[in-house]
Amino acid sequence: MALRTNSKVRAVITWVLRCVIGLIFLLVGVEKLTGTMGTIPFFDAIGWGQWLRYVSGAVDTAGALLVFFPRFTSLGAFMITCSVGLGTYLCYAKAVFNPAFPLVMTLLAATLIWLGWTSRTA
């Protein structure tokens, strides 16, 4: 019985993380693709040009959409983790802003990868 309760709790935690990460990165990805909320000056400050904004926005949006489908949760979370991990490194290296929030998002996405991977059935 404890295993069943544990799996229900795990399922709830996984769905909550899917919804939170999916919605946040869907919003972030669309903002990057449309150039709203100061994303253009932000990517200018990084110094790599606007192509990085489009690539990052596409990866964030695709990863966010994949997170909502249980079969592709780990893949979507992996895409988000790579995108945010690179963004955190660039922000830290260029001293654009404090990387605390992206680090937390990276850890949450990595947790979602782990939850999705370990709940796979053979």
- Give per-residue pLDDT as tens, 89-111: 777 776 667 777 777 888 888 88
Contact 29, 60 (CB under 8 A): yes
The pLDDT, as a whole number, for residue 120 is: 65
The pLDDT, as a whole number, for residue 122 is: 42
Q: What is the value of pTM for the model shown?
A: 0.79
Domain that holds residue 79: 15-23+51-122
Cα–Cα distance measured from residue 74 to residue 106, given in angstroms and rounded to the nearest whole number: 13
Q: What is the mean pLDDT of residues 42-55?
A: 85
* 62 falls within a domain: yes
The pLDDT, as a whole number, for residue 85 is: 82
* 65 falls within a domain: yes
Does the pLDDT value for residue 2 go beyond 50? no
Cα–Cα distance measured from residue 106 to residue 100, given in angstroms and rounded to the nearest whole number: 10
* 109 falls within a domain: yes
Within 13 Å, how many C-alpha atoms sit on residue 89's CB side? 5
Q: What is the mean pLDDT of residues 13-28?
A: 91
Strands (DSSP E) contained in the chain are none
* 34 falls within a domain: no
Provide the number of structural domains found in the chain.
1
* 4 falls within a domain: no
* Alpha helices (H) in 1-122, listed in sequence order: 2-34, 39-46, 51-67, 73-94, 100-118
* 84 falls within a domain: yes
The pLDDT, as a whole number, for residue 103 is: 79
